[in-house]
Structure 1
Amino acid sequence: MSTPSLLDDSLLERIRSRAADYDHDNAFFTEDLDELVAVGYLRALVPTRLGGLGLSLERVVAEQVRLGSAAPATALAVNMHLVWTGVAKVLLDRGDDSLEFLLREAGAGEIFGFGVSEGGNDLVLFGSRTDAAPQADGGYRFTGTKIFTSLSPAWTRLGTMGLDTTSDDAPRIVYGFIDRDDPDVSWKDDWDTLGMRASQSQTTVLSGAYSRPDRIIRRLEPGPNPDPLIFAIFANFEVLLAAVYTGIGRRALELAVEAAHRRTSMKNDGRSLAQDPDIRWRIADAAIAQDGIGPQLVALARDVDEKADHGAQWFPKLVGLKIRATENARHVVDQAIRVSGGSSYFAGSELGRLYRDVLAGIFHPSDAESAHSTVANAWLGPIA
């Protein structure tokens, strides 16, 4: 017997029904978030002893595929909180309790934002343009600008990082958490984008924002690092991101099938396009592509849960999944657009919105260039 979904069909339909208005108004998904909080969705990966639902990453991935099929922007924004709880869970499962406080606070209702991305920083986790200034008490003050900070109107804790250039062992990448009520944190109301509009991933400005000593979780050398935190971030970010875009592909395929049955052809005596060989080929092509991503997504999520040992192949597998899922979703949406015809070009079209939303997959790390470099290095070794 299959496990009932945490997100039942009626909840998903309510969420889907609001997505167009959020997109049109460039508004945050407040009602969606309220309902997701009410069913415990943001506590899904938190152990039961810490106030959560104790679900596996594999289970949450399945839920995110469903949520992504209903409202991609909502799913993408919620992902950022789920990533942090997933990171904390991965560490705890491997005997590292440095983020147990995060799980406890998430279990009590705190919402975590992901404040890592910076304009012009293609090193991502391995470097930073943000200054991390050590304080006498062991805390740090962060000064810099973070972009694509999803959940900007709602997060209560922000996980961030910066570069310490002044300590005796500098340079060090410092990871810490700051509170929303810090007077040295501000936001720019600058999220007016092509797609994923409801995520409200605004720019966050840190002007000496303080992370107290017990919220500083790592000080790492810049560059690739074997620390478990880096693996945990990569694993959760890439797998959960792939789930959202897999959901977009699933919904696009559904809409394409509906359109093929609904549309008719005067050239074929008014028969539905579901009888047209060219349209049938496009639907089949999209379905084959969509079927191919699911098994890899589930398998890698399960491997994270079960602490599988992929050694040096872990990162190639993770970045490969992200690239395959996002590019696959773009292909499926493109085929669906071609099947559905000109009606999908109108602003109010759900498929047109998916076409805009799915483009965001290009910009999430790891990008195609970085991912291919990671995989090439794993198979061929670094360039001499």
Structure 2
Amino acid sequence: MTGFDPAAHLSEKLLERIRARAAAHDRENTFPAQDLADLKDAGYLAILVPTDLGGAGLGLAEASVLQQRLAGAAPATALAINMHLVWTGVAKVLADRGIADLRFVQEGAAAGEVFAFGISEAGNDLVLFGSDTDAAAQPDGAYAFTGTKIFTSLAPVWTWIGLHGLDTTSPDASKLVYAFVPRSEEDDGRVVTRDDWDTLGMRGTQSRTTELHAAIAPADRVVRRIDPGPSPDPIVFGIFSVFEVLLASVYTGIARRALDLAVQTAAQRRSKKTGKAYSQDPDIRWRIAGMALAYDPLPAELASISRDVDGRADHGTRWFSLLSGVKHRAVTMAKRVVDDAILVAGGSSYFSSSELGRLYRDVLAGQFHPSDPESAHATVASAWLGPIEP
């Protein structure tokens, strides 16, 4: 990251504008459209796109830093943008390995198109290794997708949704098909976006449910056909690595904001008993020190693993345990830090107008994203102990 200046891509002035709008979007349960417009104007949607295609040419390590900063201003905005950045990041991972299948994503992002992430399905704990969505091959090479995707962030604004489905009609064997469906399919009723996002936190993401009714992905937007189950295909590694790193970045950014707010509050609150600022209270100092001890390793860990993805490091079969591990540590750390920040701030944080109260609700979403705690522990156990014997 030599010479990398985060403020060149996310200025303090832009971050403050975004921060100023976050509470209203949370309160009103609305999508932060102006945040998206400002980020588009700043070229943020193309930070992972090569310069020769109109982007900033950044790597995953730099994007991680920027997402931490954005999450500190508005977690829901950062999480929503994450899902677009996942696809541009996957495009970069593939391109770095000589695969140009997602070049249209890079070109589209540079032109201002917005890509949604349509992988999650209710009850599908196979995630990338399987799908309940039907992918029906068409005579012209297109695919028609029928199924339901949940937690579709950017629901009101995406122009393409990247998704997967299972083709069971293939003559050799069933295939998982990765493709992109355009928003225009909504006009024919083939894509239906439910207005069902009314959640405890992360409300601005507007991660609504998306119904697919034979929604067509054109032949030139069908990017991979792979075997179901664990796969060495680069698209699986690309999605998993970029998704986990950027998710961990968002929650690490939330933790940093909570830590900063706790420090500010400790300096401002004064004890009636001693007359001193709470920052001089041994118990408060101990608590904030514990928060910092939990937070401090994560930015460095994210930088290290991001550079390994960018540099095509060979971690072999350990890759998935390393990636699920950093995501798990980030979200559990962030929840602990926010919990402690609430205790430092006291009863004022219990009011709905409190930023810490909003962070307290937002940070809970981290435990639901893949890899969830059970999956992370199973993946790491297999890496160290081998698979469970049949």
Counterpart of 1:210 (choices 216, 220, 223) is: 216
How many residue pairs are counted as aligned between the two chains? Answer: 383
- Corresponding residue number in structure 2 for 1:255: 261
1:195 to 180, 201, 210: 201
* Equivalence for 2:32: 29
Matched, 1:164 2:170: no
Aligned to 1:126: 129
Counterpart-to-counterpart distance in 1, 2:31 and 2:340 = 29
Q: Matched residues in 2 for 1:4 and 1:146: separation?
A: 34
Distance 1:219 1:233 in 2: 15
Unpaired runs of at least 5, structure 2: none
Q: Answer yes or no: is 1:104 the counterpart of 2:102.
A: no
User: Residue 3 of structure 1 is aligned with which of 2, 5, 13?
Assistant: 5
Q: Secondary structure at the match of 1:120?
A: coil
AA matched with 1:254 = D
Aligned-pair Cα RMSD in Å: 0.9
Question: Deviations for 1:155-211, whole angstroms, at most 9, x for unmatched residues?
Answer: 101101111112212321111001001121110000000000000000001000001
Q: For 1:52-91, what aligned pairs fall within 5 Å after superposition?
A: 52-91=55-94
Task: Give the aligned residue type for 2:126.
Answer: L
Give 2:319's aligned residue: 314
* AA of the residue aligned to 1:198: G
Structure 1 SS opposite 2:184: coil
2-side partners of 1:109 and 1:69: how far apart?
Answer: 24
Alpha-carbon shift at residue 222 of structure 1 (Å): 1.1
Deviation per CA, 1:112-139, whole angstroms, max 9, x where unpaired?
A: 0001100011110111111111111111
**Separation (CA, whole Å) in 2 of partners of 1:169 and 1:259:** 63
Secondary structure of the structure 2 residue equivalent to 1:264? coil
1:261: Cα distance to partner? 1.1
Counterparts of 1:178 and 1:275, CA distance in 2: 57
Deviation, structure 1 residue 279? 0.6
Give the Cα–Cα distance (whole angstroms) in 2 for the partners of residues 156 and 86 of structure 1.
17
Q: Once the 2 structures are TM-superposed, how far is the Cα of residue 336 of structure 1 from its aligned partner?
A: 0.3
User: Deviation per CA, 1:262-290, whole angstroms, max 9, x where unpaired?
Assistant: 1122222x211111111110000001111
Q: In structure 2, what is the Cα distance between the partners aligned to 1:83 and 1:11?
A: 22
The aligned counterpart of 1:301 is 306
Could you tell me how far apart the structure 2 residues matched to 1:127 and 1:234 are? 14
How far does residue 4 in structure 1 lie from its aligned partner after superposition?
Answer: 4.6
> Partners of 2:180 and 2:23 in 1: how far apart?
33
Deviations 1:292-327 (A, max 9, x none): 111110001111111111111111100000000011
- Distance in 1 (CA, whole Å) between partners of 2:360 and 2:96 is 38
Say if 2:251 and 2:330, in contact at 8 Å, map to a contact too.
yes
Matched-pair contact (CA < 8 Å) for 2:6–2:65:
no
Tell me the equivalent position of 2:284: 279
Rounded Cα–Cα distance in structure 1 between residues aligned with 2:125 and 2:63: 29
Identity %: 62
Deviation at 1:335, TM superposition (A): 0.7
CA distance in 2, matches of 1:244, 1:167: 39
Structure 1 residues 311 and 20: alpha-carbon distance in aligned structure 2, compared to 1, 3 A threshold:
same
Give the match's secondary structure for 2:319. helix
| CA separation of 1:371 and 1:344: change in aligned 2, threshold 3 A | same
The aligned counterpart of 1:140 is 143
Cα distance in 2, alignment partners of residues 57 and 354 from structure 1: 25
| Alignment match, 2:272 | 266
Tell me the residue number matched to 1:349.
354
Task: Output the CA distance in 1 between the equivalents of 2:206 and 2:85.
Answer: 17
Q: Does 1:234 align with 2:236?
A: no
Q: Distance in 2 between matches of 1:31 and 1:111?
A: 14
TM-score by length of 1: 0.98
Aligned residue type for 1:280: R
Residue of structure 2 equivalent to 1:46:
49
Paired with 1:352 and 1:218, the residues of 2 have a C-alpha distance of 43
Supply the distance in 2 between the matched residues of 1:264 and 1:374 (Cα, whole angstroms): 47
Give the Cα–Cα distance (whole angstroms) in 1 for the partners of residues 6 and 213 of structure 2. 45
- Partner SS state of residue 267, structure 1: coil
| 1:95-120: CA deviation from partner (whole Å, max 9, x where unpaired) | 11111121112122211000110001
Q: Which runs of 5+ in 1 are unaligned?
A: none
- For the residues of structure 2 that align with 1:178 and 1:345, how far apart are their CA atoms? 42
